[in-house]
Homo-oligomer: A and B are copies of this chain.
Amino acid sequence: MFSKEQTQVLYLPDLTWPEVEASLPQIKLAIVPVGSTEQHGPHGRLQTDYAAAREFALRLGQRLYPKVLVTTPVSIGFSEHHIHFPGTLSLRASTLIAVLIDIVVSLRKHGINRFFFVNGHGGNEAALTIVINRIKHEMGCVAAWSTLPWDLIGDLSEDFTRSSITGHACEKEMSIMLYIWPDAVKKDALAPGAIRRDAFGSRQKAKGIREATFFDEITENGALGDATKASVEWGEKAVNTGLERILPYLKEFMERKIGS
């Protein structure tokens, strides 16, 4: 249904309960995709982040089949900083935490005790950190998250982007979407970010400092970078490099001992 490459992947929404039951003895890990419904400039559809998280998670699920169960994606995240752009939805941080904890509590009742969150949206990171800590410290399970493929491909960016200010609805993100879920890209609307240079200048001084911002303070059209430079080839490289780099970790993580 939701993914085009669903063969040989345990994607929860596509399964019946007897299928889940039959797979449980082999399942060592649940992967929970977490995204957002938020503006991505004139060219990224609002589903961008949850489509990306879902697709990346499904690719992991395929490669780790049948040891991994990919759950229903969390399709609304923390996006209050984008709320001035029409259509953006946001959960309060406390709500997002509650949703993620409830999913984990449900999965534990089915006997799953290891949780990896494939995050598609930077705004979710604080909530995810609080959630993995509660899973580890209060429930005695193991948990981790990563914003993928971003957190694993920092070195790839250099050779691709010329525009110095990327990170949202930019050439990198649109490249990834063109490869992983092209429906999220409105190709005839690709445009460079209308960055407010003065605001960005000021933020430059803020290297190493986290300052709360509304996204319209730094870009007029909601995009950074220059999405017109997006290329499916770079997207493919980014996604596959990310997959490659996380697999060794996940294979070890899937064997982590449970219990404090």
- Copy tally for this chain in the complex stands at 6
Check: A80 CB closer than 8 A to any chain B CB: yes
Contact B17 A86 (CB under 8 A): yes
**Among residues 78 to 116 in chain A, which have CB atoms less than 8 Å away from a CB atom of chain B?**
78, 80-81, 83, 85-95, 98-99, 102-103, 106-107, 109-110
Q: Which chain B residue shows the least CB distance to A36?
A: B72
A97 → B minimal CB distance (Å): 8
Check: A39 CB closer than 8 A to any chain B CB: yes
Contact B212 A137 (CB under 8 A): yes
Q: Which chain B residue shows the least CB distance to A24?
A: B86
A46 vs B208: C-alpha distance when bound (angstroms): 26
Interface residues of A (CB under 8 A from B): 1-2, 12-21, 24, 37, 39-47, 50-51, 71-73, 75-76, 78, 80-81, 83, 85-95, 98-99, 102-103, 106-107, 109-110, 125-130, 132-137, 142-146, 151-152, 154, 183-184, 186, 189, 202, 205-214, 221-222, 245-246, 248-249, 252-253, 260
